Amino acid sequence: MKTHETSESLKELVKEKYSQIADQSYTENATSCCGAGSSCGSIDYTIMAEDYTHLKGYVADADLGLGCGLPTEFALIKEGDTVIDLGSGAGNDAFVAHSITGEKGKVIGIDFTEKMIEKARTNAEKLGFNNVEFRYGDIEKMPVTANVADVVVSNCVLNLVPNKKKAFEEMFRVIKPGGHFSVSDIVLQGELPEGLQKSAEMYAGCVAGAIQQEEYLQLINAAGFENATVQKERKINIPNEILSIYLTDSEMEKYKSGTLGIYSITVYGEKPGADRVKQLAKEKKAACCGPDSTCC
């Protein structure tokens, strides 16, 4: 199968799973480690999610328990900012961001699951928010013009994107010079056993779309961001009931020995200011168009 076909099939898988999740409540999703009728049994989904209820702007109807961090808590959002929430779901992080940006700001949620967009829009209408909107679109090709956002946030979504390089490049494009992002995501430290990595259930709802933390940070830097910092790191303790579905006894022993792990991280990065962006573009062109280069 070609790479493009593989990427598209994975997107369709994720979209199908999250369409199912959109029709469920937080309580229903909490009875499954992966949401949407997973075979994981009655494992508490909070092995991934964190508690939002103490945050200003929290809306229970928008909380489907699908995150793995609290990016808005670390995002340095200010009143009047324009914030983009990637993979906005039912609107949970968007509404928390709105409580900080206030009426002078704007929040744009982007999601490629139609049912999630419908649910988020319904929630926004109930709340009477005129400066929070939800757009249907792909994170790899956002329906947003360049240099719009002061801040980009995302919660446990980029690990599900097949082309993470393109996703970070798109983030760089839509953020204003001098703006920044804070995203929570699932990453790996060490090589995940093949059975766990390739599981469709785990891919669609939990961890198998994740990449190595080092590679994740490299993609951020390669996109042009500076001062990338891990703001929070939390190891995910996967219960034996879940691991035993995907791992052999020997793989389970190796996994628990501490040689590898699944982590929730919240990462911050900055887009350089306008002058710095111009300087970097000149340096890149100079390196590309040197006397021994043919790329120009």
Structure confidence by residue, pLDDT tens digits, 71-86: 999 999 999 999 999 9
| pLDDT at 172 > cutoff 80 | yes
Q: Determine how β-strand 175-189 pairs with β-strand 261-270.
A: antiparallel
Supply the pLDDT for residue 34: 44
Structure confidence by residue, pLDDT tens digits, 184-236: 998 989 887 777 766 645 544 556 578 899 999 999 999 999 999 999 999 88
* Residues forming a β-bridge with 226: 270
Domain boundaries, the chain: 3-283
Confidence of residue 123 (pLDDT cuts 50, 70, 90): very high
Confidence of residue 38 (pLDDT cuts 50, 70, 90): very low
Using CB atoms within 10 Å of the CB of residue 56, give its burial: 0 to 12 exposed, 13 to 18 middle, 19+ buried: exposed
The stretches of 157-265 forming alpha helices (DSSP H) are: 164-174, 194-197, 200-205, 213-222, 240-246, 249-256
Neighbours of 258 (CB within 10 A): 10
* Residues forming a β-bridge with 228: none
The residue type at 179: G
Higher pLDDT, 46 or 64: 64
Supply the pLDDT for residue 198: 64
Supply the pLDDT for residue 66: 77
Asked if residues 89 and 66 have their Cβ atoms less than 8 Å apart, the reply is: yes
* Residues forming a β-bridge with 178: none
Using CB atoms within 10 Å of the CB of residue 182, give its burial: 0 to 12 exposed, 13 to 18 middle, 19+ buried: buried
Supply the pLDDT for residue 57: 93
Angle at 11 between CA 7 and CA 16, to 5 degrees: 150
* C-alpha dist (Å) from residue 24 to 19, 188, 277: 9, 29, 44
* C-alpha dist (Å) from residue 247 to 250, 254, 276: 8, 10, 48
Q: Determine how β-strand 149-155 pairs with β-strand 175-189.
A: parallel
Q: Pick the range with the lowest mean pLDDT from 24-33, 44-53, 161-170, 202-211.
A: 24-33
Structure confidence by residue, pLDDT tens digits, 131-154: 999 999 999 999 999 999 999 999
Query: What CATH number labels 3-283?
Result: 3.40.50.150
Structure confidence by residue, pLDDT tens digits, 155-165: 988 988 889 99
Higher pLDDT, 5 or 222: 222
What average pLDDT does the segment 55-59 reach? Answer: 92
Supply the pLDDT for residue 250: 85
Q: Determine how β-strand 149-155 pairs with β-strand 82-86.
A: parallel
Mean pLDDT, the chain, as a whole number?
82
Supply the pLDDT for residue 53: 86
Confidence of residue 36 (pLDDT cuts 50, 70, 90): very low
**Chain-centre distance for alpha carbon 187:** 11
Most confident of the following: 119-128, 191-200, 257-266, 287-296: 119-128
Higher pLDDT, 176 or 1: 176
Higher pLDDT, 78 or 38: 78
| pLDDT at 43 > cutoff 50 | no
Enter the pTM of the model. Answer: 0.80
| pLDDT at 30 > cutoff 80 | no
